[in-house]
Chain A
Amino acid sequence: MARGKGGRKSVSFQPNESAGNSDSGEITNGDGEHTEHQATVSGVKPNVPSLTFPIIPVQNLLIVYYMFYSGLTENIADTLFSGLWTIIITQISSGSLILYASKKKTKKAQDSTNVPLLLAGSTAIALFLSIPLFIVVILFGAPLAEHLKETFLLSVHLSFLIFYPLLVLFKFDLQAFAHNFQVDNMYSLIFNHSVLASSFMTIVGTWIGVIPIPLDWDRPWQQWPITLLVGGYLGSVVGGLVSLIF
């Protein structure tokens, strides 16, 4: 379309209008398929606080195991709720670990952060963010009429897995966080950073966690939303491990 002119074209009645009238929206010729990648080249530098050592949330494996141990398949909602305290506490401690790992490099900024406030604030925000996440999970196809309690608890869990480390890492700096989306090679950026990779793979893991649900094996762990929860938790660990390889 002719950008900027709102889809209008001006024609003058003067006869020999130049033939080379630029039609900016017109499809380019032929081998244009190969030009797609060139358009995305931009020189944006990533802005992620780097870590001195990788942080791999191995404890998440234990949490999942513990939740199964304490009867996740029998009483989903209650176990999810009690497991919530565990994940919040471990995420707060791993949050302080993230702060510790990212502190050493920027010694100057050390004083300006109020660590307890940051951790507490992140907890509050992660709790709050579980509401939009809940809507997203519903939009993705979570049951509307039933299991709402389980779905919400799932989104709180996921919110702590996905958002909490990011909130702590970026110290609420949304601008810096959003800035990274403009980077050319986003995936290599993500997989080079254990916290980012862990958060990203949590999302992917939850997405993949949908797959076993339709199978007609009639196993207790196929109940909603156990597979998604396990997918998310495993994803977070896998993400951390993958970042080691890159």
Chain B
Amino acid sequence: MEAEPELPGRRVFKQQQYQQQSRSKLRQQKLKVTFIGYVIVLVFLALVQFVGVGFFTKGFLLSRNVLPDVSECTDDESNTCMEEPRFEKAILLVIDALRFDFVIPVEGSDEYYHNNFPIIHQLAQKDNGVLLKFIADPPTTTLQRLKGLTTGSLPTIIDAGSNFDGDAIDEDNWLLQLHKNNKTIAFMGDDTWHALFNHYIEPELNFPYDSLNVWDFHTVDYGVIEHLFPLLHKENYTRWDLLVGHFLGVDHVGHRYGPKHFTMKEKLNQMNDVITEVVEKLDDKTLLVVIGDHGMDYTGNHGGDSKDELESTLFMYAKNKKFLKKSPEHYNISELGKNYRSVNQIDLVPTMSLLLGLPIPFNNLGFPVDEAFESVKQMSLASYKTLQQINNFRINTPNLSLKINQKFNEFIANYTEHGTDKKKFEVLIGQARDYQHSSLDECKGLWATFDLKSIGVGITILFLSLTFILTYARSIPSVRVSTMSFEFIGSVIAMMLLGLVLSLSVSIVLKPTDFSLKMCLAIGASLGILIGFWAPIMDRFSINWLWHQLIDFFIFNFNSWSFLGIVFVASHSLIFASNSYVVWEDKMVSFFLITFGFFCVYSTASNNHITKSQKVLGLSHAVTFTILSRLVSTINLCREEQRPYCTPTFGTTWWSVLILHLCSYFLPAVIEAFYKLSDSYHSAAPLWIGTGLKFLLFMNAVYWTFEYVQNSDYFSSTNLILSSPLIKSLKLAIARIVLFITLVLANFSWSKGPLCVKLELSESLSPDEDEESEDSDASQKTATILGYGNVYGSSYFLLVLNFTVAIMLVTKPLGAVSLNMLIVQILSLLELYVILDIRRNLISPIIFGLLGYQHFFSTGHQATLPSIQWDVGFMTTETIRLPFTHLNIILNTFGPFFIVCLSIPLITLWRIVPSSKPITVLSQIITNITTFITYQLFTGLSSLIFAAHFRRHLMVWKIFAPRFMLSALLILVLNIFLITITLWFGTGKVVTQVNRIFGK
């Protein structure tokens, strides 16, 4: 006690005090050193995992080989240019996310997205207009689609990640061809075009608008309209040859509200007006093309490959030129156009090129659209030219099947024989289409080429790090581990350097063709680190000893709890072996948690080592935990594959906002009750929980109330006192304030070490203190420290609350409700761990991991790309601004895991008195953290292995690949979060702080 009053005449004591002080100083230094040792070890471990994940990702996420060649008009046979272009100019209007059923008449439908865009279907009934279903290739993200629509190739999923950067296109495409032929391209709208085709667009006629701000429905569209119509005036008509307009409103309404929102009707009506007006102003030589780049699913999102996301619209119109329409049964609009004639999106590429008299882009795989040409003869010529180009491409691309090339020769033979025969045109077109189909199918299959070597290396590195971390976490006694950190660090650095040198020399001498120098170095370094980790272990313990440790665990330490934990981890890892279980992972996780809950109920009920009151408390905690787990599992956002067995409940409704308001009152009360159980609702706690938490939760609720009011049909039709811009700025202000307080201010003040204890001075002696102070003066003052039994826990939990509130803000209302329940679940669990005495069992961190998954799903996420809630990125800023937009999205996506990770030290810290051996406490926290990482690595590695195993599976891009991406991201993000926030910031602060004050 530093604040002790000095009493005179006690020299001996003073000396003792000095001794004690210097001893405690020494101990604190030792603690700090141990702590740093742990952090460095974990950083190295994380590095190895990152390298493993990196290698796997590189091998698994496909990249396509792009030929840099550019087609040209030639004079010989292989010329792919039409001699007489059918059109001189073209207007291409892209309406983002224009699903096919938006433009066809749907009888009896009251949906906002039906029957509000009639002009297209009306015009298509005439001879000079044609409407087709337009099938996109996955991934259905705008950048990929634009690449496909201009190059005629199949952009792979690896490009999907660069949607937020956009990068200039270097493949042959028809915009490039236009530019090369001295045509002028005017552009307005989505700035993705600007990023891709900046070189080809006429600088004076280039009007890009920010595309990713999904909360803004009008800026892009009004911008397009503003610049589009002046260019259609007679005097400006000569200034351009191709006019591209890209509208984003429909897409943004979808992202923001989903299709079933009245704004969708306004937007579609607006598009209807635009098209009507453009058609009026069109001249004779211009072709009007209106397309959607992809569709949207029922939530309004896209990116995957469901039917709704793939089906969009292609509409072509010319003032007085006929299209070659097929018989009416091809254009059947019944059942939302289920049997309507459809063409591939890449088919637009040869069509546009041929119609405008350009050479077909070199990498094109598509086939011209039949309707676009004036006669069958022209179409047959067009297909001949397209085949020439495809053949040329195939000859220049390695590893393509010769059998298909043979088909080309057959076609050419036929064509030279019957090319002028009117009756044979249809046959020839059919043959050409057959060739193009088989070529496209082959390319689709081939560009799913996986780099198996990289995949293998990645899996091996991850597997080795898993074996090590398993040994580190569970096999070696944690106390011994604490003294080994620096041995680890020394040998790891030495072996890493050795590995680097070795791999450098290997790559210089042997020059392996499959691995670049960087990759060699990464492999060398990571293997070196792993060997460096094993060396000290092998030095101290033999394999035999470790093996006996394992057996000992199963003989002595194996109880129902550890059995349950192992069952959970094993089954969670095995679910990746089947697509059905990956799809239903949310239900499985909840099932595990509820099973655990019932186990707790049973084991508290039958436990006779605890007192009656503890039993009652334990039972109530266990029942609370079970019921909450069940309640949480009712909040879900169904993924497409779960239908029709799943009804989504996740959405912003009036009652979810109301619950949010109620929670802002109840959650602080519940936490207060939990704190009072350990008598620690003192000093910092009332401030944090009673005032801060309550206020911030209320602000969150207010934010989402505004959001709800802004979106609802009812409120937007009535005139509010609060105008819409005012609400908008209020929302921005609230979001910024809350995030600033929780992430910056509260964490800063927490780092100063708030304690939830109270000193109670009493003059008279209470009866149970009699024995201790028998020898001292009777009149002596005694002090009681209230909350002493939970010093660490009560203080540390405040940090958890800081982050929780921030995460709740960026989570949609029902998700925030589920996070409210998460906090109660965690608190009940902590109490249960104490009562059942299982906090040292391996199941404790595993249950935390499962909780993280459960709330990942119940906050409206799934392991799919479309379920990423991009719109929360714009809560704090109006435009995309690093790092705020990204911070919001990360907090939203991984928030539940962050809360859980942050709570892991509490397994050890909850309800313990200040320890005289802080290093022991620290080492147990490390054990729990590493066990948690082990669990994540187990499931992660399993999902990686099965994703690689099922790489030819039908569902790989739909189910296994997104799940692998989630696992890989989790390994990355959780390692970083655990080391920096949980260990460095949280645990480091609380342990040293408490030890400084209470340490003996």
Interface residues of A in 17-46 (CB under 8 A from B): 19, 23, 25-27, 29-34, 36-37, 39-40, 42
Interface residues of B in 778-796 (CB under 8 A from A): 780-790
Q: Which of A7, A23, A30, A210 contacts B479 (CB 8 A)?
A: A30
- Would B591 and A139 count as touching, CB distance under 8 A? no
Q: Which of A1, A16, A31 contacts B790 (CB 8 A)?
A: A1
- Would A214 and B557 count as touching, CB distance under 8 A? no
Q: Once bound together, how far apart are the Cα atoms of A89 and B781, in whole Å?
A: 75
Q: Which of B10, B557, B784 contacts A15 (CB 8 A)?
A: B10
CB distance from B466 to the nearest CB of A (A): 21
Residues of A within 8 A of B977 (CB): none
Q: Once bound together, how far apart are the Cα atoms of A88 and B907, in whole Å?
A: 47
Q: Once bound together, how far apart are the Cα atoms of A139 and B633, in whole Å?
A: 10
Contact flags A201-213 to B (C-beta < 8 A → 1, else 0): 0000001001000
Q: Once bound together, how far apart are the Cα atoms of A30 and B917, in whole Å?
A: 11
- Would B591 and A210 count as touching, CB distance under 8 A? yes
- Would B477 and A7 count as touching, CB distance under 8 A? no
> Known interface pairs A141-B591, A216-B580. Does A8 touch B606 (Cβ–Cβ under 8 Å)?
no
- Would A32 and B840 count as touching, CB distance under 8 A? yes
- Would A139 and B626 count as touching, CB distance under 8 A? yes
- Would B578 and A215 count as touching, CB distance under 8 A? yes
Residues of A within 8 A of B165 (CB): none
| B119 close to chain A: CB less than 8 A | no
- Would A29 and B591 count as touching, CB distance under 8 A? no
| A13 close to chain B: CB less than 8 A | yes
| B911 close to chain A: CB less than 8 A | yes
- Would A11 and B789 count as touching, CB distance under 8 A? no
Q: Once bound together, how far apart are the Cα atoms of A188 and B1000, in whole Å?
A: 47
- Would B16 and A16 count as touching, CB distance under 8 A? yes
| B544 close to chain A: CB less than 8 A | no
CB distance from A4 to the nearest CB of B (A): 9
CB distance from B706 to the nearest CB of A (A): 31
| B921 close to chain A: CB less than 8 A | yes
Residues of A within 8 A of B773 (CB): 12, 14
Residues of B within 8 A of A9 (CB): 784-785, 788-789, 913
Flag the segment in B581-589, B810-818, B889-897 that touches A.
B581-589
Residues of A within 8 A of B478 (CB): 30
- Would B477 and A33 count as touching, CB distance under 8 A? yes
Listed residue (B4, B578, B678, B840) with the most chain A CB atoms within 10 angstroms of its CB: B840
| B608 close to chain A: CB less than 8 A | yes
Residues of A within 8 A of B680 (CB): 7
Contact flags B753-791 to A (C-beta < 8 A → 1, else 0): 000000000000000110011001000111111111110
Interface residues of A in 96-148 (CB under 8 A from B): 136, 138-141, 144-145
How many residue pairs link A and B with beta carbons under 8 A? The number is: 156
| B440 close to chain A: CB less than 8 A | no
Contact flags B918-937 to A (C-beta < 8 A → 1, else 0): 00110010000000000000
Residues of B within 8 A of A1 (CB): 678, 789-790, 834, 911-913
- Would A27 and B477 count as touching, CB distance under 8 A? no
Contact flags A132-169 to B (C-beta < 8 A → 1, else 0): 00001011110011000000000000000000000000
- Would B608 and A37 count as touching, CB distance under 8 A? no
| A181 close to chain B: CB less than 8 A | yes
- Would B840 and A36 count as touching, CB distance under 8 A? yes
- Would B780 and A214 count as touching, CB distance under 8 A? no
CB distance from A211 to the nearest CB of B (A): 9
Q: Which of A10, A31, A178 contacts B783 (CB 8 A)?
A: A10
CB distance from A200 to the nearest CB of B (A): 12
Q: Which of A30, A36, A214 contacts B559 (CB 8 A)?
A: A36
Q: Which of B552, B606, B630, B917 contacts A34 (CB 8 A)?
A: B552
- Would A13 and B908 count as touching, CB distance under 8 A? no
Residues of A within 8 A of B588 (CB): 214
Contact flags B626-645 to A (C-beta < 8 A → 1, else 0): 11001001100000000000
Q: Once bound together, how far apart are the Cα atoms of A141 and B782, in whole Å?
A: 54
Q: Once bound together, how far apart are the Cα atoms of A70 and B908, in whole Å?
A: 56
- Would A136 and B598 count as touching, CB distance under 8 A? yes
Interface size on A, residues (CB 8 A): 45
| A220 close to chain B: CB less than 8 A | no
Q: Once bound together, how far apart are the Cα atoms of A36 and B781, in whole Å?
A: 40
Closest residue of chain A to B560, judged by CB?
Answer: A187
Q: Once bound together, how far apart are the Cα atoms of A138 and B591, in whole Å?
A: 11
| B579 close to chain A: CB less than 8 A | yes
Closest residue of chain B to A7, judged by CB?
Answer: B789
Closest residue of chain A to B16, judged by CB?
Answer: A16
| A2 close to chain B: CB less than 8 A | yes
> Known interface pairs A12-B776, A33-B557, A210-B591. Does A27 touch B788 (Cβ–Cβ under 8 Å)?
no
> Known interface pairs A1-B834, A7-B788, A10-B782. Does A30 touch B920 (Cβ–Cβ under 8 Å)?
yes
Contact flags B443-487 to A (C-beta < 8 A → 1, else 0): 000000000000000000000000000000000011100000000
Q: Once bound together, how far apart are the Cα atoms of A6 and B13, in whole Å?
A: 31
| A59 close to chain B: CB less than 8 A | no
Residues of A within 8 A of B16 (CB): 16
Interface residues of B in 596-648 (CB under 8 A from A): 598, 605-606, 608-609, 626-627, 630, 633-634, 647
| B726 close to chain A: CB less than 8 A | no
Residues of A within 8 A of B876 (CB): none
| A182 close to chain B: CB less than 8 A | yes
Closest residue of chain B to A181, judged by CB?
Answer: B606
Closest residue of chain B to A28, judged by CB?
Answer: B920
- Would A12 and B772 count as touching, CB distance under 8 A? yes
- Would A11 and B785 count as touching, CB distance under 8 A? yes
Q: Once bound together, how far apart are the Cα atoms of A37 and B559, in whole Å?
A: 8
| B915 close to chain A: CB less than 8 A | yes
| B679 close to chain A: CB less than 8 A | yes
Q: Which of A8, A39, A141 contacts B785 (CB 8 A)?
A: A8
- Would A30 and B477 count as touching, CB distance under 8 A? yes
Q: Once bound together, how far apart are the Cα atoms of A207 and B595, in whole Å?
A: 9
- Would A12 and B780 count as touching, CB distance under 8 A? yes
- Would A12 and B782 count as touching, CB distance under 8 A? yes
| B837 close to chain A: CB less than 8 A | yes
Closest residue of chain A to B923, judged by CB?
Answer: A30
Closest residue of chain A to B776, judged by CB?
Answer: A14
Residues of B within 8 A of A33 (CB): 477, 557, 840
Residues of B within 8 A of A14 (CB): 773, 776, 780
Residues of A within 8 A of B590 (CB): 141
Listed residue (B626, B784, B913) with the most chain A CB atoms within 10 angstroms of its CB: B913
- Would B1000 and A19 count as touching, CB distance under 8 A? yes
Residues of B within 8 A of A136 (CB): 598
- Would A8 and B789 count as touching, CB distance under 8 A? yes
- Would A8 and B913 count as touching, CB distance under 8 A? no
Closest residue of chain B to A207, judged by CB?
Answer: B595
Q: Once bound together, how far apart are the Cα atoms of A178 and B16, in whole Å?
A: 56
Interface residues of B in 61-94 (CB under 8 A from A): none
Q: Which of B559, B605, B634 contacts A144 (CB 8 A)?
A: B634
Q: Once bound together, how far apart are the Cα atoms of A182 and B768, in whole Å?
A: 33
| B1 close to chain A: CB less than 8 A | yes
Residues of B within 8 A of A8 (CB): 679, 784-789
- Would B587 and A25 count as touching, CB distance under 8 A? no
| B594 close to chain A: CB less than 8 A | yes
CB distance from B855 to the nearest CB of A (A): 16
Listed residue (A5, A9, A19) with the most chain B CB atoms within 10 angstroms of its CB: A9
Q: Once bound together, how far apart are the Cα atoms of A27 and B920, in whole Å?
A: 8
Interface residues of B in 917-971 (CB under 8 A from A): 917, 920-921, 924
| A-B contact list, 26 entries, CB within 8 Å | A1-B789, A8-B785, A8-B787, A9-B785, A9-B789, A12-B769, A12-B783, A13-B781, A13-B782, A14-B780, A26-B916, A27-B912, A27-B917, A29-B479, A29-B917, A30-B477, A36-B557, A37-B557, A40-B609, A42-B608, A139-B630, A141-B591, A145-B647, A182-B606, A215-B580, A216-B583
> Nearest 5 pairs between A and B by C-beta?
A7-B789, A9-B788, A181-B606, A1-B789, A214-B584
- Seed contacts A15-B7, A15-B13, A23-B913; 16 additional CB < 8 Å A-B pairs: A2-B913, A6-B679, A7-B786, A10-B772, A11-B784, A12-B782, A13-B781, A25-B911, A27-B917, A139-B594, A139-B598, A141-B630, A141-B633, A178-B606, A182-B606, A214-B581
